[in-house]
Structure 1
Amino acid sequence: MANDFDVAERLTQAALDLACERGWRNVSLAETASRAGVPLLDTYRTFPDKTALLCGLIVATDRAMLEEGAADPNEPARDRLFDILMRRFDALQSRRDGMIAIIRDIPLDPLCACCLLPRLSRSLAWTLEAAGISSAGGLGFLRIKALGVLYLSVLRIWLADDTPDMARTMAMLDKALQRIDSIARILPGSGKASREGQTPDETPPLANDEPPGAPA
């Protein structure tokens, strides 16, 4: 008997294949189950609706991102974040056609998009944690929001990036990380340095090297 992880993997792969063929909007759970060879009851237990199936795809991307462990703590925070985010894009790239078909259809279902936001926020929190940047507390909340804006801006480039090594995606990610780092350095109260009476440009929100806390 297949375990839960195997069932989820088969269903998500079937959903990706079907999305490539006919678009995510036209994919049903019943035909996903049929394509995957998974009984309807097991499909219901694993993914009771299409939003849950999309969350399963996000979780699969998280697993791939975290599989190699945390980033090198000896690297600067921005470099660590770059490495972790590129792991995420590598995971998307391995399922590129299906992921593009799904991502392009999600805006056509605003309710589904809203339901995915909490799951995406958890993924971004784990992205920060893997980079050795805390996602805890009020500052962590702001970091998650800032990272979300950055990630979605780079995702738009990835959707159109036809280079074999994702050169355009990497260039945009590097530029976006530099920009958010520069902006953060001129904001008052951006990190522990300013709270201790030091200059606020010493500790930008996405490059704070304080010990990581639990994901939000």
Structure 2
Amino acid sequence: MNGADIQTEIMDRLADAAWTQLADKPPRQLHIDDIAAAAGITAAAARAATGSITTLILHRLATLDRQASLESLADIEDAGEVPVRDKIVEGLMHRFEVYAPYRQQIAQLDLAGKRDPALGLRLLDSLAQAMRMLLRMAGDDLAGLGSEGRVLGVAVVAMQVARVWQDDDAPDLSVTLKAIDARLARAEEWGRTLRVLRDDSVAGEAEAMADDQNAEMPGDGSRYQ
């Protein structure tokens, strides 16, 4: 195992331990020494490998988001020709499925982000990166001035559906799926399509949809899903 592999393993183990503890404690109560002990890594190595607890949390979120994106891609490729809208629905839905065992962690992050604006911004950026991966997986190369509008539009949908997802106790998350479809349908009814075709008019519509929905965001969902 080379140096890079060792560094990756250390970060993975520390992030996993921090993520487990996050289920029961808010981020501000997590301590690197406790995390290191749980991960079986010396405190000195843990401090050398990571600059903050937030870094470990973001590392774990990125790992889960990559897992969701790659698994969605595999499912879509197996299905053959799939419309872009269906790819977006599949990507969002599978991400909620991947995060389903971790509702407590997401709830902790949602509350912590509201109390700590710096943490909230880091988590919002993490969500935006996840939505970039989702859109690229769906076939959008994210070129052009409207690309960030498309990212924001899908991120807003994810945030709003997260509130439904947190209370969805159906084994197949059917309530969450209906919420995803309803949010996308509502956007289409407004004439703000979420199809991520490389078309300036589509990009403009997505940006307008994001602006409209962004006005609804306070108190209407999780910023981290």
2:121 aligned with 1:114? yes
Q: Which of 14, 25, 38 is equivalent to 1:35? A: 38
**Structure 2: 5+ residue stretches without partners:** 208-225
Supply the distance in 2 between the matched residues of 1:12 and 1:37 (Cα, whole angstroms): 12
Residues 20/193 of structure 1: CA separation in 2 closer, same or farther (3 Å cut) = closer
Which residue does the alignment assign to 2:98?
A: 91
Instruction: Give CA deviations for 1:50-99 in whole Å, capped at 9, x if unaligned.
Output: 22122112211222113336334721111110111122112211333333
8 Å CA contact 2:17, 2:39 repeated in 1: yes
> Percent sequence identity over matched residues?
24
Cα distance between partner residues in 2 of 1:143 and 1:126 = 12
User: Which residue of 47, 50, 55 corresponds with 1:52?
Assistant: 55
Report the AA paired with residue 10 of structure 1. Answer: R
From the superposition, tell whether residues 40 and 183 of structure 1 become closer, same or farther in structure 2 (CA, over 3 Å).
farther
Deviations 1:25-70 (A, max 9, x none): 3112221122111223432344311221221122112221133363
In the other structure, the counterpart of 1:213 is none
- How far did residue 193 of structure 1 move? 7.2
State whether structure 2 residue 141 is matched by structure 1 residue 168. no
* Alignment CA distance shift 1:140-1:68 (3 Å): same
CA shift, 1:134, in A, is: 3.1
Alignment coverage as a number of residue pairs: 196
Relative to the length of structure 1, the TM-score reads: 0.77
TM-score by length of 2: 0.74
| Match in the other structure for 2:12 | 9
Dislocated runs of 4+, deviation >4 Å: 203-206
RMSD of equivalent CA atoms: 2.8
Does structure 2 retain, via aligned residues, the 8 Å contact 1:154–1:172?
A: yes
Distance 1:98 1:185 in 2: 32
Q: Which amino acid in structure 2 is aligned with residue 66 of structure 1?
A: S
Counterpart of 2:98 in structure 1: which amino acid? A
- Indicate how the Cα distance of structure 1 residues 176 and 69 shifts in structure 2: closer, same or farther if over 3 A, else same: closer
Superposition deviation, residue 140 in structure 1: 1.1
Alignment CA distance shift 1:118-1:4 (3 Å):
same
